[in-house]
Amino acid sequence: MAKHKRSINGRYRSRTWQLINTCLLGLYTLLAGLTAFILYKNHILAVNGLNWIIFAVWILIFLIALICLISNKLNKLVTVVLMLSSLLVGGILFFAKSTVDATKRMNESAFYSEVEMSVIAHKDSVLNSISDVTAVEAPVALDKTNIAQLKDHLLESEQKELSLAETESYQTAYETIQADHSKAMVINSAYMPLLEQLDQSVKDNIKTLYTYTIRKKSKNQLKQHQSDVMNVYISGIDTYGPITTVSRSDVNMIMTINKKTKKILLTTTPRDSYVKIPDGGANQFDKLTHAGIYGVETSEKTLENLYGINIDYYARINFTSFMNLIDLLGGIEVINDQAFSSNGYDFPVGKVSLDSRKALVFARERYQLEGGDNDRGKNQQKVITAIVNKLSSFKTISNFSSIVNGLSDSIQTNMPTETMMRFANDQIASGGRFSVTSQEVTGTGSTGELTSYAMPNANLYMYSLDESSVEKAKAEIQKIMGESHD
């Protein structure tokens, strides 16, 4: 009787273990299948066949567990193996999914941009709301599309018909409402920093009567790039608000990458460079930084035309929040050429260690530098170079997921996840660091001698590029692009 009872209990325990293992095997299969799909689709860990080795191990675990389950053997061991394997695969799934989601956020923000259009008046104006306004000063020829969308929106949502008094620029419109407090004007938020160059108290002198945010679809498309050579445009903005906000580009750098020779060339074009700007710039000459007002694609085209190259991708970076990357990397070191102090920090000549706060000050300062904006560009190159070198280490690549997640709201790019992953995989496979060099085009600065298309009546500082310097930069870019691995 006792023997029969033990036999029944044994079968019961056996069925219980089988049920548990069946559920665990199903969970493991689901996790492994989903993880394998994400890894394969996005080329994650595709290094020297590492992903295929991982897949083979997962399949082997599945087959062994299935055989043991069918034969009703090693139930306890199978339970332990499936639990540990599920936890491991689940961890890899979390890493892969969070990485892909973060890079997709960077991509999604590249598909649209936002412009804030407002109706404003002098702070002492008798106009207190949009209902008091019948006509506005507006540079229709300069910003026709955005002004028309604001006008249409007011008619549709507020049943407010506005008449437009044509002005030459936002500057002349601002001067009009300063002189006549009974008038109002339209302002594009991207142009506000331009007005602040002329009058730092702009925001204190106006009141906002109405605001409408225009969201525009971008012409950007995610492009696959199989070549070992690519040009990436790095556009640095330094504004508050989301990365999708249209603004000037204060940092304009082309990163030429040759993966075969492990070389990177950083080419910086000063923000005040007097260049021909296409698209919204009407192929007129203006400051390079003003190209950003018409969208990152316009800045990209401007530099393509200047250097006679194709730019494969861009990365638009909010410099303020991007500097947080330095803390994620554990800090960086740069070699400082000239001693200066700024915002309570001292930067002596020689090797300087930087955290995110010090790096932002180091990259922003120009008034304490002998070469002004040119030297600031060189310091920005040093920071970018140090970041690239730190990013190319295996330790950093192993923390790729946390780094990407920490920066996903600070960067927008049209480089797809697969391309980013291939680049990381190549770096892991080669195990070598990139050799980073930099160059900057030079010229002559002047104030009030050249005309700005966006601000035609303003005496702005402009930088006329030296043609021989531009030609030399072109040759260096072509040299890096044309080199092959020995």
Backbone angles phi, psi at 391, to 5 degrees: -65, -30
Say yes or no: 118 and 83 in one domain: no
Report the pLDDT value the prediction gives residue 12, as an integer from 0 to 100: 55
Decide which of 57, 83, 109 is a domain's last residue. Answer: 109
* Contact criterion met (CB below 8 Å) for 89 and 35: yes
pLDDT score of 6 more than 70 = no
Burial class (CB in 10 A: 0-12, 13-18, 19+), 147: buried
In a domain? residue 223: no
Q: Which of 483 and 281 is assigned the larger pLDDT?
A: 281
In this prediction, residues 186-196 reach a mean pLDDT of: 93
In this prediction, residues 45-73 reach a mean pLDDT of: 88
In a domain? residue 222: no
Render pLDDT for 441-470 as a digit per residue (tens, 0 to 9).
Answer: 999 999 989 999 999 988 899 999 999 999
pLDDT score of 393 more than 70 = no
Distance CA 273, CA 445 (A): 9
Q: Which of 374 and 12 is assigned the larger pLDDT?
A: 374
Tokens 């000037």, located at residue: 248
Q: Containing domain of residue 163, as a range?
A: 111-217
CATH number at residue 452: 3.40.630.190
pLDDT score of 77 more than 60 = yes
Render pLDDT for 372-384 as a digit per residue (tens, 0 to 9).
Answer: 877 887 888 788 8
Say yes or no: 233 and 213 in one domain: no
Which residue, 176, 172, 112, is CA-closest to 142? Answer: 172
pLDDT score of 435 more than 60 = yes
Report the pLDDT value the prediction gives residue 425, as an integer from 0 to 100: 78
Task: Assign 485 a pLDDT band (cuts: 50, 70, 90).
Answer: low
Q: Which of 290 and 98 is assigned the larger pLDDT?
A: 290
If you average pLDDT over every residue of the chain, what do you get?
87
Say yes or no: 242 and 371 in one domain: yes
Count structural domains, the chain.
3
Axis-axis angle for helices 75-108, 50-71 (nearest 10): 140
Say yes or no: 102 and 116 in one domain: no
pLDDT score of 7 more than 60 = no
* Contact criterion met (CB below 8 Å) for 473 and 308: no
* From 190-204, 343-357, 386-400, the region with the lowest mean pLDDT: 386-400
Backbone angles phi, psi at 127, to 5 degrees: -80, 125
Report the pLDDT value the prediction gives residue 216, as an integer from 0 to 100: 85
Backbone angles phi, psi at 358, to 5 degrees: -65, -35
Distance CA 212, CA 150 (A): 7
pLDDT score of 60 more than 60 = yes
Per-residue tokens: 284: 């007129």
In this prediction, residues 290-299 reach a mean pLDDT of: 93
Q: Which of 312 and 408 is assigned the larger pLDDT?
A: 312
Say yes or no: 390 and 290 in one domain: yes
Which residue, 278, 256, 283, 258, is CA-closest to 267? Answer: 256
pTM, two decimals, is: 0.81
Report the pLDDT value the prediction gives residue 11, as an integer from 0 to 100: 59
Say yes or no: 188 and 269 in one domain: no
Task: Assign 402 a pLDDT band (cuts: 50, 70, 90).
Answer: low
Decide which of 61, 88, 109 is a domain's last residue. Answer: 109
Render pLDDT for 224-261 as a digit per residue (tens, 0 to 9).
Answer: 666 889 999 999 886 666 788 888 888 899 999 998 88
Report the pLDDT value the prediction gives residue 164, as an integer from 0 to 100: 95
pLDDT score of 394 more than 60 = no
In this prediction, residues 80-98 reach a mean pLDDT of: 90
* Contact criterion met (CB below 8 Å) for 124 and 178: no
Decide which of 93, 109, 125 is a domain's last residue. Answer: 109
Say yes or no: 341 and 465 in one domain: yes
